[in-house]
């Protein structure tokens, strides 16, 4: 009898690239790659989409094993998954360094930086 507590499954290449293949998900992942950790409301603001919409795509990324989440009071923070294989991290790093200055990625970072009432992460995590 095999008990699956929780396989820390890392995504296979198909799953990983399917996760990157949506414009909104790619924008979110490149933000996470640059910022480390962001909550849903920050992503909603930076990407300028409805909260249910980003929540759905984050759920897809979570199910794909690309991101992990942690609850901190009323906020849920997302980050790149700890078990993401090295080649996948290299893919994201190469992409970010290649396109960081272009639209819409640069604007996303700017919108995040300009967000008012941003929940503090650095001070009390």
Partner DNA sequence: ACAATATATATGATCATCCATATATTTCCG
Partner DNA sequence: CGGAAATATATGGATGATCATATATATTGT
Question: Where along the sequence are the contacts to a second copy (CB under 8 A)?
Answer: 13-14, 17-18, 20-21, 23, 26, 85-88, 90-91, 94-95, 97-99
In this structure, are strands 38-39 and 67-72 parallel, antiparallel, or unpaired?
A: unpaired
47: helix, strand or coil: helix
CA gap 3, 16 in Å, rounded: 26
H or E element that contains 38: strand 38-39
What is the nearest approach in angstroms of DNA to the Cβ of residue 104? Answer: 13
Q: Out of 26, 41, 96, 115, name the contact with DNA by CB under 7 A.
A: 41
> Rule CB under 7 A: which residues touch DNA?
18, 21-22, 24, 39-41, 44, 50-53, 55-60, 69, 71, 73-76
């Amino acid at each position: 009898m095999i008990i699956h507590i929780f396989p820390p499954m890392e995504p296979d290449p198909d799953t990983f690239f399917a996760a990157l293949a949506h414009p909104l998900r790619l924008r979110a992942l490149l933000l996470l790659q640059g910022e480390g950790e962001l909550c849903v409301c920050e992503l909603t603001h930076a990407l300028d989409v409805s909260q249910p919409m980003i929540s759905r795509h984050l759920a897809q990324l979570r199910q794909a094993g690309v991101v992990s989440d942690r609850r901190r009071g009323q906020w849920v923070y997302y980050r790149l998954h700890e078990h993401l294989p090295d080649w996948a991290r290299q893919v994201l790093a190469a992409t970010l360094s290649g396109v960081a200055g272009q639209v819409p990625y640069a604007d996303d970072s700017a919108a995040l930086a300009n967000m008012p009432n941003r929940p503090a992460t650095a001070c009390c995590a």
